[in-house]
Copies of this chain bind each other. A is one copy, B any other.
Amino acid sequence: MEKKLKLALIGSRGHVGYVFKVLKDLPELDLCAITSGSEEPADGLLQICTERGYAPQVYTDYIEMLDTEKPDIVSVCGPFELHAQMCCDCLERNINVFCEKPIALELEELDRIRAAYDKCDKEKVKIISMVGYRGEAPFRTAYDVVSKGLIGKVKMINTRKSYKLGKRPAYYHKRATYGGTIPWVGSHALDWIYWMSGNAKFKTIHAMHDTADNGGNGDLEMTALFTAVMENNVLASASIEYLRPAAAPTHGDDQVRVAGTLGVVEVMHDKVTLITADECKELELLPERGIFYDFARHLLYGEPCVVDAEGTFELTRACLEARDIADRFKI
């Protein structure tokens, strides 16, 4: 008999699109219920479901949804400041969690999630955050090169996240509901660092950020810089900002460069270049693989998943520590 897992969705702030992108390839999943996770109605989320032929039950209260539907997997894209509580509520019910990153906005919240996770049967209950870049073709291709040792021992990782500012909803304007630019935008860059370094922990972190010239966006930091020494002595940097001009060809300028003792691999403008002692070439890209597809197959069949709970917790810790360090480092 085919396995079936019940899927429920909380909210649509962020990357719930990762779920919808691959849901048609996962017939084992039953999208049973949705809720907004906030005071607002779930109209937008329901519309996405309807357009795709899903007819989930709609709840106004996510706890009621969890207790009534007893889903196997929950996608958490509620208000950023509720991520941590929602994760805890799921874990306490032994529900697998696919949560928007960062999964917490304060370090104490992260501690609470860890504590809830530590009480779970870790063979059965999983939690990961939406580090979807890991599944995108250029980043997968670069990681493949690094993990195969083609650039030797990794020594330096440089990353860039540059976004167009555009018009941002009001919850971006307050630290309490946004969390900060390092956790929100920078988390992608810090995840590349962690991943490409071979899951080395962030040993020493330094960071700075600045809210000036943010076009009336309240507390939102326009610029941030991050550096770290990883546990394996890789040096790593991230440049994070909302300064990408309107005429730029894409919303984001996402770059990763990994330099090792035998070569350098670089992701830029969705292309991947490898330079070694012998050649300098653009690589053919591996196919994209959706992160939610990965996670669902992991839960269903025990296939390997591109990220795990420890990676999720370490990324969250690094983001929040960096933000807190940047806060103390007065501009």
Contact = CB atoms under 8 A, between A and B. Distances in A.
Contacts of A244: 264, 275
A155 B246 CA distance: 16
**How many copies of this chain?**
2
A259 B243 CA distance: 6
Contact of A243 (B227, B247, B261): B261
Contacts of A260: 243
Interface in A272-297: 275-280
Contacts of A162: 259, 264
A35 interface: no
Contact of A206 (B222, B227, B247): B227
A245 interface: yes
Interface string A15-44: 000000000000000000000000000000
Contacts of A51: none
Interface residues of A, number: 46
A276 B247 contact: yes
B259 A233 contact: no
A210 B239 contact: no
Nearest to A156: B223
A263 B245 contact: yes
B237 A239 contact: yes
A205 to B, nearest CB: 11
A237 B225 contact: yes
A315 to B, nearest CB: 20
28 contacts: A153-B213, A155-B212, A155-B222, A156-B225, A158-B239, A162-B264, A204-B208, A204-B329, A206-B227, A208-B227, A210-B235, A223-B235, A225-B227, A225-B236, A225-B237, A229-B331, A241-B259, A243-B260, A243-B261, A244-B264, A245-B263, A245-B277, A246-B277, A246-B278, A247-B278, A247-B279, A248-B264, A249-B280
Interface of A: 153, 155-156, 158, 160, 162, 204, 206, 208-210, 212-213, 222-225, 227, 229, 233, 235-237, 239, 241, 243-249, 259-264, 275-280, 329, 331
Given A204-B208, A208-B227, A249-B280, 16 more contacts: A155-B243, A156-B225, A156-B241, A162-B259, A206-B206, A208-B229, A208-B235, A209-B235, A212-B233, A225-B236, A243-B259, A245-B277, A246-B276, A247-B275, A247-B278, A247-B280
